[in-house]
Structure 1
């Protein structure tokens, strides 16, 4: 017999609610609990199954909200790491600073574009593996981006020997690039406009997008 084919009456649901509320506030809960258990096996059985199903639905929704809230919080953590790191380094046009957060451990890593800027100079073997199938498709080498250097840090702190060992959907990248400003043409008006030097967030380049998609990571 399925729950949906034997839905309780509103009276049964109301009575169960009264019993559960009374149990919560009872001076002698053991006695009430014994009586309630007998009723759950008999006249309140359908109402109890209905309650359990509804409670399970609410629990799943709450857990999903908590997971999403945690994911958003950690994505902000990656962005904050990138912003903090960028503010400590020289403002050179085209510089990319990337924050990386591991959603499983909540560890955060940072990296800056340029092979000379790697915090760990040696490129990890798994990074070689990822880059080997990634391009190039953009007009620069595949190993110079901020995403590469921050991923290299993550890999050096892991025990991975193959890209297949990297957990799917567990990494989030956030990149910032420095725009030196200057005169640009406004696309809407067609008139020149002056932009001041500034940092701006950006997605992965086509080179990095290939291996980031391969490990099913996210850019934010």
Structure 2
């Protein structure tokens, strides 16, 4: 560590570098070692957990040893890696844990402090990236499920609307893995009270009634299955909707945006359009 710089300045500089390094990885898979936590949320307790934690720590220390410039820092980080290696080699035994703790607070305290300074901000930022990647992956998966549900129903009627299916079919998915479909054929007679409550503030902006769409049929089935008694019970942002409409001109089904009627209640419950 450069003696001419304060310890706080050094920590701040390291954190900025760590944040930038993670930002560059946003679209790539984050290496497991980058996620290594000095103080994990759930403290390793079994011998197997301790061994796995130590092995990941060893990998993190070795990765930093290749990045730093000063030989003194490389030596300290190699010492950290060696300490982790001894702990993992000891298979998480009480004696290995005791020796690791004594090294960390004794002869190895400077090396451990350097490693902590480097690793902690990297782990924090890496976790944010991974959490966002997982959130986005789940979001995309739910949109795809809603689309697949509508397409599956659509494909059962390749010649368009009939006595069994209307001109619009819809798929509705929730973030818990549930799925529902709807059609614009005969919707009104199926609707329950809470669905009418959802539609109560909708202003008619199309040539058809506000209750007539496939999306309404799908949300009605969802509300029945959930047993909700009020619109307030619907979890905001947890639903994903996709619709297909039959084109007489092109003689085929086409994906479409929600109509001007449906978009009103879909936005009211924070539904995501697929």
Match of 2:252 in 1: 198
Comparing 71-80 with 51-60, greater Cα deviation is found at: 51-60
Corresponding position of 1:83: 151
Matches within 5 A, 1:209-220: 209-220=263-274
Report whether the alignment pairs 1:20 with 2:84: yes
Rounded Cα–Cα distance in structure 2 between residues aligned with 1:77 and 1:28: 44
Q: Which runs of 5+ in 1 are unaligned?
A: 182-195
Cα pair distance change 1:133/1:6, threshold 3 Å: same
> What per-residue deviation string (whole Å, max 9, x for no partner) do you get for residues 143-169 of structure 1?
000111100000011122211111111
Select between 146-155 and 129-138 the one with higher mean Cα deviation: 129-138
1:16 Cα offset (Å)? 2.7
2:50 corresponds to? none
Corresponding residue for residue 35 of structure 1 = 99
Query: TM-score scaled to structure 2, two decimals?
Result: 0.64
Q: Does 1:101 align with 2:173?
A: yes
**Any residues of structure 2 matched to 1:1-220 within 5 Å, and which?**
4-5=11-12, 10=68, 11=73, 12-24=76-88, 26-27=89-90, 29-30=92-93, 31-41=95-105, 42-43=109-110, 44-89=112-157, 91-92=160-161, 95-103=167-175, 105-114=176-185, 116=186, 121-181=189-249, 196-220=250-274
* Structure-2 change in CA distance of 1:15 and 1:125 (3 Å): farther
Indicate the residue corresponding to 1:192 in structure 2. none
**TM (normalized to structure 1)?**
0.79
What runs of 5+ residues in structure 2 fail to find an aligned partner?
A: 1-6, 16-63
Give the SS at the match of 1:173: strand
CA contact (8 A) 2:11 2:117 kept: no
1:156-183 superposed Cα distances (whole Å, 9 cap, x missing partner): 11122211111111000011111122xx
SS in structure 1 of the partner of residue 242 of structure 2: strand
Moved more, 36-45 or 1-10: 1-10
TM-align CA RMSD = 2.8
**Greater relative contact order (CA < 8 Å, ≥ 6 in sequence):** 1
After superposition, what is the alpha-carbon deviation per residue over 1:182-219, rounded to whole angstroms, capped at 9, x for unaligned?
xxxxxxxxxxxxxx411110010011101111111111
Distance change in 2, residues 1:54/1:110 (3 Å): same
Corresponding position of 1:185: none
Report which of the two has the higher share of helix. Answer: 2
